[in-house]
Structure 1
Amino acid sequence: MSQKEATPPPPPPPPSADSNNLPPPIFTLSKSILRLIHASDAPALQRAADSPAVAKYMSYRFPSPYTIEEAEKWVGYATTFKVPGTDVLPSFAICDPVTNTPLGGIGIKLKEDIEVDSFEVGYWCGEASWGKGIMTEALRAYVKWVFETFPNVNRLEGEVFGGNDASIKVLERAGFVHEGTRRKAGVKHGVVFDIHVLGLLREECSLLE
């Protein structure tokens, strides 16, 4: 008596916060999920980051081409770096709200000495996510989280390359104020450009009200 042909299993569901041991959402927003970065995120981050257009307005620390080795290096840092004196991992993945696949990232850069109570915010997402309001929504949520998580922080700031008007708009929509321009402060691949400085004080963050 022959065995019946086995019925093929159904296709796996899209990844979720509970599958593949991914960290749970910190924020579930209308356009994205913000969560901690996981080791398995490296390939998706590499695909989203590997674009000259994405790297154009980033520092040399964000390489182009963006290889899987660079992605794995970044994931290794983001999954281990904690704000000094705390157990808080401040680097988040910005993920598709359906598949939980990383579209980009957001985090902070610490300052030192007399500026220790200020953080610099940095963020990026792949070209496919541009122009959809994803970053504005993610930044607003992240800013609120930073001020609530670090009560000593008085100020957040963002530095934007001259010409990156889209990033300036993202910061302004999150409440940041244009404070000044560092003229000809940046040089990348031989091109000299201004750097715009935008800041947000704790008492100016309407999301905390």
Structure 2
Amino acid sequence: MSKKVVIFEPYYLGEYHEKDVGTVVEAMNNDDITRTLAGPPFDPYLWDHGEQFVNLAMSATYKGVKKVWAIRDKTANDKLIGSIDIRPSDDEGAITKFKPTNEKGLCAGFGFWLHPDYWGKGIMTAALKQMVDQVGKKQMDIHAFNGDCFKGNTPSRKVFENNGFRLVEEQENAAVKQTTKQIYSIWLFERIDN
């Protein structure tokens, strides 16, 4: 896959760079962003944590395909405005909430965040579409996908449902927020393509 995938102009999926550390640190200390995330694992989120994440994002691959993508705004000097990653179920250390019933028994989940200044523009919905179609299906040959979000996180639910995912289960007290150890209920979604 190319190093840049257009979401829709002027937004695109691209690579992470060392210059993104400050933006990642700022985002992971922004309650509007992290309120609905199980992570980050640190509070406060320090420069060293950002460096570790960016280094991981730059090197994380699955069968030679990049797993972690920066969401960028071309009109703002290619500013990092969000992140999305794909998590194949047979990848080392992968965490998935269910196993699909397809013949391969392989699925992939997703994690994502977007800066609040860019909410409500359809960016994450379009980014997830590109991740499913261009990365999951085309590059990784994965055709079963799952997702989850905290119960009540309606924007993330819409991102999944607008991409053909269906709500399959609501699990009570199923997720722990890493920094506060608070327990949340989650919505589970799946999409299985042929």
- Shared fold per TM-score greater than 0.5: yes
For the 8 Å contact 2:86–2:131, the answer to whether it is kept is no
Equivalent of 1:160 in 149, 152, 175: 149
In structure 2, the CA distance between the partners of 1:130 and 1:49, relative to structure 1 (3 Å rule), is farther
| Residues 141-167 of structure 1: CA deviation (Å, up to 9, x unaligned) | 11111211112x131111111121110
Residue 59 of structure 1: SS of its match in structure 2? coil
- Between the aligned residues of both structures, percent identity stands at 24
Helix, strand or coil at the partner of 2:61: coil
Higher RCO (CA 8 Å, separation ≥ 6 residues): 2
Unmatched runs of 5 consecutive residues or more in structure 1: 1-22, 204-209
Q: How many residues align?
A: 178
Equivalent residues in 2 for 1:1-209, closer than 5 Å: 24-27=3-6, 29-83=8-62, 86-98=63-75, 99-112=77-90, 117-145=106-134, 146-151=136-141, 153-188=142-177, 189=180, 191-203=182-194
Q: How many angstroms apart in 1 are the aligned matches of 2:35 and 2:61?
A: 28
Larger proportion of strand: 2
Secondary structure of the corresponding residue to residue 79 of structure 1? helix
1:31 and 1:137 in contact (8 A); partners too:
no
On the 8 A contact 1:135/1:170 being kept in 2, the answer is yes
Q: Give the CA deviation at 1:24.
A: 4.3
In the TM superposition, structure 1's runs of 4+ consecutive aligned residues that sit over 4 Å from their partners are 113-116
Letter of the structure 1 residue corresponding to residue 187 of structure 2? H
Larger Cα Rg: Structure 1 or Structure 2? 1
Over the aligned positions, Cα root-mean-square deviation in angstroms equals 2.2
Q: Scaled by the length of structure 1, what TM-score is found?
A: 0.76
Matched residue, 2:95: none
Distance 2:126 2:143 in 1: 21
Distance of 1:130 and 1:62 partners within structure 2: 24
TM-score of the superposition, structure 2-length normalised?
Answer: 0.82
